[in-house]
Structure 1
Amino acid sequence: MAAITFDEKGDGKGADFGRVLKSRVADYFKTNKISQKADWRSWSKAVFFLGSAIAIYFTLVFGNVSSGTAVLLSIAAGLTLAGFGFNVMHDAIHRNFTAKSKLSKALYYTMDLFGASGNFYRIKHAIMHHTYTNVPGEDPDIEESPIIRMSPLQKHHGYHRYQVIYSTALYFFLAFDWIWRGDYDRMARLKVCSLQMTKPTAKEQGLFYFFKAFHAFYALAVPLAFHPVKSVLACYVVALATAGLVLSIVFQIAHIHEGASYPGPDESRQIKGGWARHQVITTANFATANPFVCWYLGGLNFQIEHHLFPNINHVHYPKLNPIVVATCKEFGVNYREFSSVSSAIFSHYRQLYLLGSGKTEAELSGESAVSQTVA
């Protein structure tokens, strides 16, 4: 079957929109004489989150803390892991942190250091998700679990009516599944949705299993030398569950919400309107005026800017936002933003409810007509 492509002239505006927007953003960096890579703000967060992770780990493993304190530190560990993922690992996967190849590669492998494969995530996220956002069968983010219906183009089953209830429980398990099943499944099948991957080299396979073993060693084996099994497992579960929930919510609310679009290919395997337009209409920003959210999420609340310019480091997104908004308005491209994290989360669960009830794309368009721009 032929690969899905984007018809850049499908609606008469797609090609112009993407080209004009790209030119305006390039002019911004040229005029201000600044690099598209990370600056001191990203580096300071990298040091903060990595330092925090190390401090929490040593306190939990080698410190003498109460059970209650251990639980709180485990929650902090999960939040720190998610923060490091948002601000460092995610940008490293997109290779927008630094132009220095060796340093970029080292940052790339920080994901492996925390237990997840950077190579597989780059394919799953940077290639497939960022190309085919919200396209069933192509976007891994909406194909993660067969028991959650995330698109009106996916088949509806009776149990989906309860997904608004059980989805949160599954979100808690994201990190567990990613580290202990998903990566191994991809290594065995060498496939992400419709993409057949090339077999990793012997070196790549060796690094994959080395980092998996190293994660098990420092996260489980070392603590077990000092603490009871149930205490170690409890802390590990709490940390990964916290990280899993935060990661899931942040990535899902940007694409699965009221008003989201789900463009599919036509009979010629083309998606009309162009790639840039597709990224905007399948994505939403949230809480872009909240300083803490912007800091902690590594710019992922500026999801539209990120999807349009994944090669640009997140610290620049607030300045690119007015350019994107103005260009969307000029070309009639539907730009969505939620004013807060809570409003985006509510819209996400409302959409899960509607999808779980079996709503079609046309019915969803009618349901969400009142929440198209800013919630």
Structure 2
Amino acid sequence: MLRAVREQGLLERRLGWYAVRIAANLLALTATVVAVVLAGDSWWTVLLALPLAVLWARTAFFGHDAGHAQITRGKRAGRTVGLVHSNLLLGLSYAWWNDKHNRHHANPNHVDKDPDVGVGALVWTQRQAERRAGLSRWLTRHQAGLFVPMLLLEGIALKVSGFQDLRRQSPRERAVEGLLLLAHLVGYATLLLSVLPPGKALVFALVHHALFGLHLGLTFAPNHKGMEMPDPDGEGWGHLRRQVLTSRNVRGGFVTDWVLGGLNYQIEHHLFPHMPRPHLRRARPLVQAHCAAVGIPYAETSLLDSYRQALHHLHEVGAPLRAAR
């Protein structure tokens, strides 16, 4: 499979593809900011939080791709792209995201090694659920129903996590990341407070971050939730099984690819994390054929069904706690 992927040039960088789309996204961001300024002191301005949130998600996707070295071959150039798109434009820590995301890719859905299925506001196994107490126990009982509302807080949570991670970083990395995060906050606050009174500015910021968090959460939710989870006490899986069995693809066309930032090809992305986004669709039939040949299930479904499966898993995790009431 790897040989076939290389023969078709699917691991080659697509600098031109990314350059055009990054430029278009920056132009759209600029146009939206100008629209906010022109709309001025009006509640109608809050409506612009929606397109801004959608464009922020595009920006996050470019930061994600830069972290996987999909855009450039050089680490320095890739880090620059990632810092601009993550820290400066979004106020999210590039170093924090990369550390967390790389650990996820190494051991997807492993409860002891994947930070995405660690114990937090939500839990992902009934063993984790058994240890919950107090308010967290109540949250676990109802986590399927609370999942989407909780995503409205994700945009702010991502910013907080980035600032918290500064303590882990080296002094040099901390200085660069911290200054860019601060520059984002100052620029964002200055923009809103120069156009809107404090009350409206706060509403705009809250709506904007809620929609941004919801968009990102609904993008990442279909990828692994409800899929196989390696037994932490059992033998390790090989790379192919570990990446394929824990991942789920989402069927769709151009719109799905755009809305989900190419992460709807989650299986291909996990098998070839350095593969440029536009090549993931072309790699899909190769991966499907190889999985069929070696007898490994290849999970692919619709977007709505992926949400159903993810929410069903969350509901089942909380089932013992509901039964014990």
- Tell me, yes or no, whether TM beats 0.5: yes
* Counterparts of residues 89-238 of structure 1 (less than 5 Å): 89-109=63-83, 110-113=85-88, 114-125=90-101, 127-143=102-118, 146-156=120-130, 157=132, 158-159=137-138, 160-179=140-159, 181-188=160-167, 190=168, 199-200=169-170, 202-238=171-207
Partner residue of 1:37? 13
Partner residue of 2:30? 54
Partner residue of 1:351? 313
| One-letter amino acid matched to 1:123 | D
Partner residue of 2:296? 333
| One-letter amino acid matched to 2:113 | E
Consecutive unaligned residues of structure 2, counting only runs of 5 or more, are none
Partner residue of 1:18? none
Shift of 1:337: 0.4
Residues 36, 358 of structure 1: CA spacing in aligned structure 2 closer, same or farther, 3 A cutoff? farther
CA distance in 1: counterparts of 2:125 and 2:27, whole angstroms: 39
Secondary structure of 1:47's counterpart equals helix
Partner residue of 1:84? 59
| One-letter amino acid matched to 2:308 | F
| One-letter amino acid matched to 1:130 | H
Shift of 1:53: 1.4
Equivalent residue for 2:232, pick from 265, 280, 303: 265
Secondary structure of 1:96's counterpart equals coil
Shift of 1:320: 0.4
| One-letter amino acid matched to 1:119 | A
CA distance in 1: counterparts of 2:50 and 2:285, whole angstroms: 36
* Counterparts of residues 223-302 of structure 1 (less than 5 Å): 223-257=192-226, 260-266=227-233, 270-271=235-236, 273-287=237-251, 289-302=252-265
Shift of 1:62: 4.8
Secondary structure of 1:155's counterpart equals helix
Secondary structure of 1:263's counterpart equals coil
Shift of 1:167: 1.6
The alignment's TM-score, normalised by the length of structure 2, stands at: 0.89
The structure with the greater share of residues assigned to helix is: 2
| One-letter amino acid matched to 1:355 | V
The alignment's TM-score, normalised by the length of structure 1, stands at: 0.78
Question: Structure 1 residues 345-354 or 97-106, which shifts more?
Answer: 97-106
Is the CA contact (8 Å cut-off) linking 1:134 and 1:151 kept in structure 2? no
Is the CA contact (8 Å cut-off) linking 1:328 and 1:335 kept in structure 2? yes
> Percent of counterpart pairs with the same letter?
24
Shift of 1:335: 0.9
CA distance in 2: counterparts of 1:262 and 1:175, whole angstroms: 27
Shift of 1:66: 3.5
- Which runs of structure 1 show a deviation greater than 4 angstroms over 4 or more consecutive aligned residues? none
Is the CA contact (8 Å cut-off) linking 1:284 and 1:336 kept in structure 2? yes
CA distance in 1: counterparts of 2:153 and 2:60, whole angstroms: 16
Consecutive unaligned residues of structure 1, counting only runs of 5 or more, are 1-20, 191-198, 360-375
